[in-house]
Amino acid sequence: NAGVTQTPKFRVLKTGQSMTLLCAQDMNHEYMYWYRQDPGMGLRLIHYSVGEGTTAKGEVPDGYNVSRLKKQNFLLGLESAAPSQTSVYFCASSYNGGQAKNIQYFGAGTRLSVL
């Protein structure tokens, strides 16, 4: 009963390096989301996807790219990491039917430090 799985759990990057965070869900959810969590600021939406092959920008999309090539996976990429991207990243997913579409299920997070 995995739910939403994020890999890796921790990562340290140097400024300018690139990396991809992987989110996988096994609930057959249509919608997927990437958030970042910073102290005192709650969670802020980076990008989201309403289905395979579609993505859209959230509140803080700059410096990130995403891809949804398979329904179960949602990738978050940092092409050139900056210290301002040091954060905890959370992936979430939700169903697309009825009121259940309004409930998001979260992964355990990826803690990223950019030096």
The site for another protein (CB under 8 A) is made up of 4, 31, 33, 40-45, 48, 50, 56, 58-59, 90, 92, 94, 99, 101-109
How far is residue 100's CA from residue 53's CA, in Å, rounded to a whole number?
A: 22
CB of 85 or CB of 94, closer to another protein = 94
Nearest to 105 by CA among 92, 90, 95: 92
**Token pair belonging to 95:** 């169903």
Name the minimum Å distance from CB 15 to another protein.
Answer: 26
Name the minimum Å distance from CB 42 to another protein.
Answer: 4
Angle in degrees, CA 74, 21, 62, rounded to 5: 85
CB of 1 or CB of 42, closer to another protein = 42
Task: Describe the chain by its helix, strand, coil percentages, rounded to 5.
Answer: 5, 50, 40
Name the minimum Å distance from CB 37 to another protein.
Answer: 9
How far is residue 32's CA from residue 11's CA, in Å, rounded to a whole number?
A: 22
Name the minimum Å distance from CB 99 to another protein.
Answer: 5
CB of 49 or CB of 85, closer to another protein = 49
CB of 11 or CB of 44, closer to another protein = 44
